Amino acid sequence: MEIVRTKRELREKLRPERRKGKVIGFVPTMGYLHEGHLSLMRKAREDSDIVVVSIFVNPTQFGEGEDYETYPRDLERDAKLAQEAGADLIFFPDVKEMYGEGSITYVDMTGLTDTLCGASRPGHFRGVMTVVAKLFNIVDPNKAYFGQKDAQQVAVLKKMVEDLDFNVDIVEMPIVREKDGLAMSSRNTYLNGAQREAALAISRSLFEARSLIEAGERDASRVKERIVRKLSSSPMILIDYVELVDAGTLKSIQEVKGSVLIAVAVKIGDTRLIDNVKLEV
């Protein structure tokens, strides 16, 4: 496995492979890899001839006061894990290489980005779309792999690909959880013991909501109430949002039917955590 730091070098390496008709699978990440990322890489390995992983903590998707500076970074550890999961190439640009001097062009969207994390983190999805569009142009993959934990990100990127005619298939992979249910996230490393214990209420509240729906509940506000009650039982949890939305449009629903996304975002101390469950009703 090789680590490549410039766009030019990456393009030079991939061009001949593409000409030979090799299938390129791409896993964009911000590093500090966990099982969730590794499951994407293993799937890419199964589907493709060449697996490219990018590691880039993207400054344009962090808002003021967010954790850009403190976001965990460890290339040596990540390289080892990525290699074991089947990566052939790691693209590891620095900010200057990625954005260049005087970069003033962005990719943005309306509607899908106005709710959930888009409402709480203004500008976040503009940064995500811009960097992913750039990465798609640089890597030119056949398939790109994303985790369902960032369900809104996947919906936004699928729409971007459709609207801007990117020639790439977006593959969405299930959330990977710790044994006790906590959704894997690089940000879990910020939590101390008590905070991590409190964080379990997030997945538990979502599983309870799912059971409630499976038992026949169709009133979205009652499901939401149950989640809020469970989360509020921990004084460490500050709720950002609890929403039941249509999984395609991300619009709020009153009646639980069709493809439903139940999404939660909370803060525990300074750490923002998100989680969700999707279900067909």
Residue 148 and residue 175 in contact, taking contact as beta carbons nearer than 8 Å: yes
E-strand ranges in 34-147 read 50-55, 89-91, 143-147
Distances (CA, A) of 42 to 8, 198, 234: 26, 31, 36
Q: Is 203 in the site for ligand PAF (CB under 6 A)?
A: no
Build a one-symbol-per-residue string for 26-45: x at contacts with ligand PAF by CB under 6 A, - elsewhere: --xxx---------------
Residue 71 and residue 32 in contact, taking contact as beta carbons nearer than 8 Å: yes
Q: How far is the CB of 167 from ligand PAF (least distance, A)?
A: 18
Which three-class secondary structure state does DSSP give residue 64?
Answer: coil
Phi and psi for 71 in degrees, rounded to 5?
A: -55, 130
Considering only residues 48 to 77 of the shown chain, the ones binding ligand PAF according to CB under 6 A are 58, 61
Q: Which CB sits closer to ligand PAF, 28 or 86?
A: 28
Q: Is 139 in the site for ligand PAF (CB under 6 A)?
A: no
DSSP 186: G
The piece of 10-18, 23-31, 63-71, 248-256 that touches ligand PAF (CB under 6 A) is: 23-31
The piece of 22-30, 42-50, 88-96, 211-219 that touches ligand PAF (CB under 6 A) is: 22-30
Q: Can you tell me which residue has the tokens 């620095």?
A: 94
The piece of 15-23, 128-136, 191-199, 221-229 that touches ligand PAF (CB under 6 A) is: 128-136
Q: Can you tell me which residue has the tokens 């590794």?
A: 38
Q: Which CB sits closer to ligand PAF, 139 or 213?
A: 139
For residue 85, the tally of other CB atoms under 10 A from its CB is 21
Residue 239, H or E segment: strand 237-246
Q: Is 78 in the site for ligand PAF (CB under 6 A)?
A: no
Q: Is 150 in the site for ligand PAF (CB under 6 A)?
A: yes
Active site residue 37: yes
Q: Is 131 in the site for ligand PAF (CB under 6 A)?
A: yes
**Hey, what amino acid is at 27?**
V
Q: Is 128 in the site for ligand PAF (CB under 6 A)?
A: yes
Catalytic residue among 37, 134, 230, 272: 37
Q: Which CB sits closer to ligand PAF, 88 or 150?
A: 150
Applying CB under 6 A, the site for ligand PAF has a residue count of 10
Residue 182 and residue 202 in contact, taking contact as beta carbons nearer than 8 Å: yes
Q: Distance between CA 154 and CA 113 in Å, rounded?
A: 11
Residues that bind ligand PAF (CB under 6 A): 28-30, 58, 61, 128, 131-132, 150, 153
Catalytic residue positions? 37
